[in-house]
Amino acid sequence: MDIRVPRLAEGVESATVANILVSEGGKIEKDQVILELETEKAVGPIPSPASGRVTKIHVKEGDEVAIGQVLISLAEEGAREQAPKEKRDQLGKAETGVPATQEPVRAAEEPLAGEYRYESRSGFPPPASPSVRKIAQDLAIDLTRVKGSERGGRITLEDLKAYIQHLQQLAYAPKAAAEKAEKAVAKGVDFSRWGSIQKVRLSSLRRKVGQRMYDSWSTIPHITQLDEADITELMSLRKKYGPPFEKKGAHLTLMPFALKAVAAALKKYPIFNSSLDEAAGEIVYKEYFHIGIAVDTEAGLIVPVLRDVDRKGLLDLAVELNELVEKTRQRKISLEELQGGTFTISNQGGIGGGHFTPIINKPEAAILGLGRGALRPMVKKGKVESRLMLPLCLSYDHRLIDGAAAVRFMNELVQALENFPEKALKG
Amino acid sequence: METLTTEIMVLGGGPGGYAAAFYAADKGRKVILVDRAERLGGVCLNCGCIPSKALLHATKLIREANESSARGVSFGTPKINLGKLRAWKDSVLEKLGQGLSGLSQKRGVELLRGRGYFEDSRTLRVETKEGQRFISYEKAIIAVGSRPAMPPAFDLGNPRVMTSTEALEIEEIPKNLLVVGGGYIGMELGTVYAALGSEVVLTEALSSILLGVDSDLIRPVMRFAEKAFKEVRLNAKVVKMATSGKQIKVILTVNGEQREEIYDRVLVSVGRVPNCKDLGLENTKVTLDERGFIQVNGQRRTSDPAVYAIGDIVGGALLAHKASKEARIAVEAISGESSSFEDVIIPAVVFTDPEVAWCGLTEAEAKEKGISVQVARFPWAASGRAMTLDRTDGLTKLIIDPQTERILGVGIVGAGAGELISEGVLAVQMGATAKDVADSVHPHPTLSETLMECAEVFYGYSTHTLARKKG
């Protein structure tokens, strides 16, 4: 049997082979991890759906692979009858849990013009009916560039249409063209003329982060609201309750407090927990509060999601947060854990930093940046006092949110942090 | 005499030529079809596919009658009335020929009988019974076909040394017959003569009959031939022939040893050669390859922009249905469409007993080209229908791309394989996977089920056979 790239996650069409953990001729067990795929979001292990002997490895580390592509051929042991079913199950459950029978294995979600190339090991042309072949011929479309959606990668008329539409979109997207031109310019500069240089290939993650940032930054009108919160009291609460939390295995940092404060503010101002559906002309209000945490990893920025922050106590939040960050740093986070966020917090305080202008994690409506708390001389009741001030930076989508709403949200947040109820730490 | 003018001139009235003329007429073009034979249809109808199949049908009956006594139905020894058999065969040809004439007339295709000769790239001279005619055309389609090869060493000018053309006339049933060449023509006609009562010796210079066909598909045919023929000699070469009274003396080497034998008749079936001579091609820009076939591109256009060529004359598989497909492509190309012969699957059928048929990639070809494939086989011994026909000597196989599970080729040997292969053609042409065929319900009990079960064998769950594990 062949082990193929499973459906990885919503919107994920390709991945890079990060590590190959088996070798040709080697025996493997069912569920043994055969290789790791790096997507824009994480490194995911691909377990073997069956045990057997690896007859061929079709990819090498660094290869970009698409969903449905064959990774490894396996000479199976034991009941072969079950193999196709198992293979499908794995593909089906990876994301939605929908029974595999309802979800035929599709070579790809949509054709990607310009990137896809049909590889024919047999020398046969890409599979398509004579009628589709004739249309392609008449339109001078190279079928090896069209991804087929049917069994065995067969190209249907629909696939051909989608491909042509995609080409048209590309042709009429001046932005894309400008982008391309820009890339071409960058490529053209020979930096080695002015001294020695080193070239490092962009990782799949870096590339994706770049694409997303560019997309978000260039399509959302950002405004960043800056403020500060006095967290002197909050930090004394932290100091007081740190040891008992530690006993329960939780490391109490600023973040659980921030999460709680944000969840409360989001509840009060739901527009910050919404998304803009441009196509439908609708605002989608989410009635759940899943908050993304920007995590700095060796490979780059990854944003895992903490679910139902509003329904969890400080202790649970502290424990979960630690686990989530640790998993992310070790790149063991699953793709599901990277999805479904409604708002994001980017905390630079651990490293330093004051105010900054975070970029919204599209399709969310806003993001909160936290700097490092610093002692400042503040006037309190007519007297200058030394207070610990936390820089807050709220970037929001101005299409959805007006400036006044942002100030109100920020005030709510500052209030929540400055008057954090001690009872939330007890029990 | 005035010059005829037309948009399209088709030279040759075989299954390539008439298909091209009819299709062009159907597309509203003015067409003149030139053929030198009295009856349309070319080799296929007059001295090839059709007469040989008519005779094979009669011989199949003889065999079935003979074998039937074991199943409890006995007939007397068949009496063969050669005159009547020939007349029936000829009546089939006549009916089909008339049919073609009628279809041609109704379409308004102008028929001109006579030999054609190219004066230049845009003019054909035709020697008709009524004298010379000139045709000025915009585009020409050459479809003059091929004829049986007759090496000079065998060409004694003696009618007892026959090619397929003469053999199909069955002037007599010779007591013994030497068939030179174990290709499909030698095998088919050897079968006919053996059934009619001749002692047939078949010699093949190479190590196998039906060269190019997968060996597992040949095996049942070889088993039949060894029984039906007096002898099947492989690696045997005919060196010389000479007339010896009313017989033919044949000198041949079998496994390096020289022998001299006497036969009543000899059938030379050592291949076919293109009919390129005396066409005046030198007056056009048409070029030939080293074997004498006309060179064409994917659209079947020759090096002369006004001249297209299709069928046997361009080489490749010398098969009627290939010519007919090329006819469509050439006419479409002339009409400005971008049709091409690329990616066209041409099936092949050998009407031996049992029949052999295949399409797409063969196992042998995959091996030779180093294409990684997986082969699924379903032996007919496991088919209920084959059992009821008392013909379990068949095999259905699928050549499958292990990566995509796509069916790249289909091979069948067995009774009626020629009819069964069409499903294989559809599968390969449509890019079907083994799953597609396995998932399509086939009626029971039929031989077509062997295709479905063969696909199931690939997945290891065929009902009627214990499939080996894949991998």
Share of chain B above pLDDT 70, in %: 99
B167 and B122 housed in the same domain? no
CATH number of B228's domain: 3.50.50.60
Domain A106-175 is of which CATH architecture? Irregular (4.10)
Indicate the SS3 state at residue B469: coil
Residues in chain B: 471
Are A81 and B429 an interchain contact pair (Cβ–Cβ within 8 Å)?
no
Q: Give the per-residue pLDDT at A138.
A: 86
Mean pLDDT of B3-21: 97
Of B369, B461, B469, the CB nearest to A123: B369
Residues A405, A408, A414: CA angle, nearest 5 degrees: 140
Of B402, B431, B459, the CB nearest to A127: B431
pLDDT interval class at A180 (50, 70, 90): low
B293 and B262 housed in the same domain? no
CA distance to partner chain B, nearest, from residue A169 (Å) = 26
Q: Which two tokens stand for residue B470?
A: 């894949």
Domain C-terminal end among B270, B292, B314: B270
CA distance to partner chain A, nearest, from residue B336 (Å) = 10
Task: Tell me, yes or no, if A80 comes closer than 8 A to chain B by beta carbon.
Answer: yes
CA dist A399 and A219 (Å) reads: 11
Which residue does chain A place closest to B345, by CA atoms? A130
Report H helices in A100-173. Answer: 130-138, 157-171
Q: Report the range of poorest mean pLDDT among B27-36, B291-300, B333-342.
A: B333-342
Cα→Cα distances A372→A198, A301, A302, A368, A393, Å: 34, 19, 20, 13, 12
Q: Which chain A residues in 151-210 lie under 8 Å from chain B, judged by CB atoms?
A: 151-155
Which residue does chain B place closest to A106, by CA atoms? B404
Assigned domain for B345 exists: no
B127 and B51 housed in the same domain? yes
Domain that holds residue B142: 4-148+273-334
Q: Give the per-residue pLDDT at A177.
A: 57
Q: Report the range of poorest mean pLDDT among A5-9, A217-221, B166-170, B403-407.
A: A5-9
Q: Where in the sequence numbering do the catalytic residues of A fall?
A: 398
Assigned domain for B349 exists: no
CA dist B452 and B458 (Å) reads: 10
CA dist A189 and A198 (Å) reads: 14
Which residues of chain B lie closer than 8 angstroms to A75, CB-CB? 471
The model's pLDDT over A234-286, given as tens digits with 9 standing for 90+, comes to 999 999 998 988 888 888 899 999 999 999 999 999 999 999 988 888 999 99
Distance from the first to the final alpha carbon of chain B? 73
CA dist B432 and B442 (Å) reads: 16
CA dist B235 and B213 (Å) reads: 17
pLDDT interval class at A114 (50, 70, 90): low
Into how many domains does chain B fold?
3
Give DSSP secondary structure letters for A333-356. --GGGGS--SEEEEE-TTT-----
Mean pLDDT in chain A? 82
Of B396, B443, B439, B446, the C-alpha closest to B417 is: B396
Assigned domain for B467 exists: no
pLDDT interval class at A103 (50, 70, 90): very low
Assigned domain for B172 exists: yes
B71 and B97 housed in the same domain? yes
pLDDT interval class at B301 (50, 70, 90): very high
Angle between the B17-26 and B82-107 helix axes, to the nearest 10 degrees?
30
Domain residue limits, chain A:
2-102, 106-175, 208-425
Are B471 and A81 an interchain contact pair (Cβ–Cβ within 8 Å)?
no
Q: Give the per-residue pLDDT at A108.
A: 39
The model's pLDDT over B368-388, given as tens digits with 9 standing for 90+, comes to 999 999 999 999 999 999 999
Antiparallel, parallel or unpaired: β B4-11 and B31-35 = parallel
Contact A20, A35 (CB under 8 A): yes
Residue B2: count of CB within 10 angstroms of its CB: 6
Q: Report the range of poorest mean pLDDT among A30-34, B247-251, B348-352, B437-441.
A: A30-34
B384 and B439 housed in the same domain? yes
Are B403 and A126 an interchain contact pair (Cβ–Cβ within 8 Å)?
no
Residues B461, A92, A51: CA angle, nearest 5 degrees: 55
Of B371, B403, B429, the CB nearest to A123: B371
Which residue does chain B place closest to A148, by CA atoms? B431
Are A127 and B402 an interchain contact pair (Cβ–Cβ within 8 Å)?
no
Are A76 and B470 an interchain contact pair (Cβ–Cβ within 8 Å)?
yes
pLDDT at A161 over 80: yes
Of A75, A81, A140, the CB nearest to B461: A81
B328 and B361 housed in the same domain? no
Assigned domain for B468 exists: no
Which residues of chain B lie closer than 8 angstroms to A156, CB-CB? none
Between A318 and A181, the more confident residue is A318
B242 and B296 housed in the same domain? no
Assigned domain for B347 exists: no
CATH number of B405's domain: 3.30.390.30
Which residues of chain A lie closer than 8 angstroms to B361, CB-CB? 122, 124
B58 and B164 housed in the same domain? no
Between A228 and A297, the more confident residue is A228
| The domain over range A2-102 is classified in CATH as 2.70.98.20 | no
Strand ranges (E), B92-203: 110-113, 115-120, 123-128, 131-142, 146-148, 161-162, 176-180, 199-203
B309 and B246 housed in the same domain? no
Q: Give the per-residue pLDDT at A372.
A: 92
Which residues of chain A lie closer than 8 angstroms to B366, CB-CB? 122
Residue A129: count of CB within 10 angstroms of its CB: 18
Which residues of chain A lie closer than 8 angstroms to B436, CB-CB? 151-152
CA dist B154 and B142 (Å) reads: 30
CA distance to partner chain A, nearest, from residue B427 (Å) = 9
Q: Report the range of poorest mean pLDDT among A67-76, A252-261, A390-399.
A: A67-76
Which residues of chain A lie closer than 8 angstroms to B432, CB-CB? 127, 152, 154
Strand order in the sheet with B257-263: B236-244, B247-254, B257-263
pLDDT at A89 over 60: no
Of B342, B404, B461, the CB nearest to A152: B404
Are A80 and B460 an interchain contact pair (Cβ–Cβ within 8 Å)?
yes
Are B469 and A76 an interchain contact pair (Cβ–Cβ within 8 Å)?
yes
Assigned domain for B215 exists: yes
Amino acid at B292: G
Which residues of chain A lie closer than 8 angstroms to B332, CB-CB? none
Mean pLDDT in chain B? 95
Task: Tell me, yes or no, if A131 comes closer than 8 A to chain B by beta carbon.
Answer: no
CA distance to partner chain B, nearest, from residue A198 (Å) = 39
B444 is catalytic: yes
pLDDT at A348 over 60: yes
Q: Could you report the predicted ipTM of this complex, rounded to two decimals?
A: 0.75
Mean pLDDT of A299-324: 90
Point out the catalytic residue in the list B57, B321, B442, B444.
B444
Between B30 and A280, the more confident residue is B30
Between A189 and A325, the more confident residue is A325
Mean pLDDT of A118-126: 85
Which residue does chain B place closest to A151, by CA atoms? B433
Q: Report the range of poorest mean pLDDT among A327-331, A365-369, B201-205, B415-419.
A: A327-331
Assigned domain for B440 exists: yes
The model's pLDDT over B236-281, given as tens digits with 9 standing for 90+, comes to 999 999 999 999 999 999 888 999 999 999 999 999 999 999 999 9
Q: Give the per-residue pLDDT at A297.
A: 84
B130 and B161 housed in the same domain? no
Which residues of chain A lie closer than 8 angstroms to B403, CB-CB? 2, 58, 70, 73, 121
Which residues of chain A lie closer than 8 angstroms to B430, CB-CB? 127, 129-130, 154
Residue A177: count of CB within 10 angstroms of its CB: 12
Residues A93, A99, A102: CA angle, nearest 5 degrees: 120
B290 and B387 housed in the same domain? no
Task: Tell me, yes or no, if A51 comes closer than 8 A to chain B by beta carbon.
Answer: no
The model's pLDDT over B77-112, given as tens digits with 9 standing for 90+, comes to 889 999 999 999 999 999 999 999 999 999 999 999
Of B340, B361, B460, the CB nearest to A81: B460
B142 and B288 housed in the same domain? yes
Contact B189, B176 (CB under 8 A): no
Please, what's the b/e burial string for A27-46 (b: 16 or more CB within 10 A of its CB; e: otherwise)? ebeeeeebbbbbbbbbbbbb
Most confident stretch, A210-214, A353-357, B17-21, B60-64: B17-21
Are B436 and A137 an interchain contact pair (Cβ–Cβ within 8 Å)?
no
What CATH class has A208-425?
A: alpha beta
Q: Give the per-residue pLDDT at A80.
A: 39
